Structure 1
């Protein structure tokens, strides 16, 4: 395990408040379906102006598509991200026009919560976590999100303002009371969600192999699980070809160690399980991965 100062993604997000407000006005005026027609020109614009994202997308897709990479794949990748951002607008607004969802493995989550100790819901920047938040709202599932907040741009703040309760559900990473707030939420039997595929600049990492290359995965989610004793559940929410988001819960079948001496081995096994889960998702849904930076540090 190693300490890292990886700042490739810890920079302010691209996006303009005024542009996002205009997009929200369009969404409310013309509706989600009609606005989808504008996603291709918007994606083409970002394809042209964002060379770093273009290179990172190409480096990733050449791994995920395994020899099936074609011209236009990067533009399709950016279009998938634009679609997810558009859908996020409607998930956050609690609109009757939000995208529909299908759920697999719901019983896995409910059985975990039945123990009364809450759980850590572990996802990645694949698909849309807001789809699960919409499910939680509909079924009164208590959810808080553990998030790294220092790199948020103006566009994200405009989006988050769509849901007045959103800010109260977030536990920022790196604050003095972060662990206390996580423990309080779990003690109430709540879910604490975290996306575990990005490494804060203060984090400790575990090396792993993913899609044929070396990556660094933060050990924080797994150390948090050990510290709290809360069970881990994997979740993904990926937009299918019919426009429905498929939400899937999976058991995190790595047993917790019985002594402190086994914690290091547990973290390594947990990271390998998590990376294997991510890799399988990327191979099945290559255009749903939304880390537009050089994840393997090998983009030309």
Structure 2
């Protein structure tokens, strides 16, 4: 994400989060959803950068000029998934109709040991909670930065202390994160992280996405290559009301890649990932929750720094790759996948 966006304040004070949780606990999901409308109105009136980012993205995903109603629906979808996190993380699955696609494929990969699950800020990653019911034999470990949005982190930790205890903190140094991920994989866990945001100074590839090149981080893919871990993609798409589609797609098998082929393989995987992300974004356009100028982020860092295929890159870059992965309202003129290196 761009440096300017990183400095944008979060939408939601600790008091507001506690109030929403109290309303949800006392009145239930139906009553709490009524509170979403003033939240949407607030973002429409006050948060201009998010509103403009929504319009830019929707124009690409919808293939037309979005209306004010489209922008409101986009923000409402985001707010609805945030509210549903309170219920999903507290185990109240009875409120939801979650259809799981690709579970047999996930089990087939998991039968051979641990694997990486790569998600995105498209839909709700918390829909993975349904695995506790449909595949209780699967252990899921989540990677995110606990220091980002501490109010939300404390709230979610209180809702599900078991998940909180298993979190791999992306606020650690790079080698510590890689070692923690490797240990979890060796124990047969599925390690889940979001891979669609590149931080300032982090190595990334600019690859086609919704009509223009956009920067995608390469550190997660370097981790997968370094640890020789299979990768599955996961999309928890909100379909309105209480309906979600949780989709798993096997992506790569963890085979070893020769060092001289690493840059080519990285570019190919990032480009394939962007294509799958685009497919699902078009199928569920209001599910995109990167509320910043996604296509032009980090332009100031373009073309500087060291080779991202360096053997040390996974350890140095991973610290930034998995940070700021809690949802929050938060291309250039050439095409193709192009390596971009950090300052």
Structure 2 residue 119 is matched with structure 1 residue 123: yes
Structure 2 residue 6 is matched with structure 1 residue 10: yes
Instruction: Look up the match of 1:286.
Output: 285
- Judge conservation of contact 2:225–2:254 (CA < 8 Å) in 1: no
Query: Normalized against structure 1, the TM-score is what?
Result: 0.91
Equivalence map 1:228-247=2 (5 Å)? 228-241=227-240, 243-247=242-246
Aligned-pair CA distance for 1:69: 2.3
For structure 1, list consecutive stretches of 5 or more residues without a partner in the other structure: none
Q: 2:170 aligns with which of 169, 173, 181?
A: 173
- Judge conservation of contact 1:254–1:269 (CA < 8 Å) in 2: no
- Judge conservation of contact 2:95–2:242 (CA < 8 Å) in 1: no
Distance in 1 (alpha carbons) for counterparts of 2:102 and 2:287: 20
Equivalence map 1:1-300=2 (5 Å)? 6-11=2-7, 13-67=10-64, 69-116=66-113, 118-136=114-132, 139-140=135-136, 141-176=138-173, 177-241=176-240, 243-253=242-252, 256=255, 258-297=257-296
Moved more, 14-23 or 89-98: 89-98
Moved more, 262-271 or 164-173: 164-173
- Judge conservation of contact 2:143–2:168 (CA < 8 Å) in 1: yes
- Judge conservation of contact 1:257–1:266 (CA < 8 Å) in 2: no
For structure 2, list consecutive stretches of 5 or more residues without a partner in the other structure: 298-330, 332-343
Query: Normalized against structure 2, the TM-score is what?
Result: 0.80
- Provide closer, same or farther for how the CA distance between residues 261 and 96 of structure 1 changes in structure 2, counting only shifts above 3 A: closer
- Judge conservation of contact 2:146–2:153 (CA < 8 Å) in 1: no
- Judge conservation of contact 1:47–1:54 (CA < 8 Å) in 2: yes
Distance in 1 (alpha carbons) for counterparts of 2:254 and 2:180: 25
Q: Deviation per CA, 1:50-88: give whole Å up to 9, x if none.
A: 111111111111111101522311111000011001111
- Provide closer, same or farther for how the CA distance between residues 244 and 41 of structure 1 changes in structure 2, counting only shifts above 3 A: same
Distance in 1 (alpha carbons) for counterparts of 2:283 and 2:201: 32
Aligned-pair CA distance for 1:13: 2.7
- Secondary structure in 2 aligned to 1:237? strand
Distance in 2 (alpha carbons) for counterparts of 1:25 and 1:97: 19
- Provide closer, same or farther for how the CA distance between residues 135 and 175 of structure 1 changes in structure 2, counting only shifts above 3 A: same
Aligned-pair CA distance for 1:96: 5.0
Aligned-pair RMSD on alpha carbons?
2.1
Distance in 1 (alpha carbons) for counterparts of 2:48 and 2:150: 19
Moved more, 66-75 or 178-187: 66-75
Q: Deviation per CA, 1:158-200: give whole Å up to 9, x if none.
A: 2332111232222122523111110100001110111100113
- Judge conservation of contact 2:23–2:32 (CA < 8 Å) in 1: yes
- Judge conservation of contact 1:147–1:173 (CA < 8 Å) in 2: yes
Q: Deviation per CA, 1:184-239: give whole Å up to 9, x if none.
A: 00001110111100113352101111111221100011101101111000111112
- Judge conservation of contact 1:233–1:249 (CA < 8 Å) in 2: yes
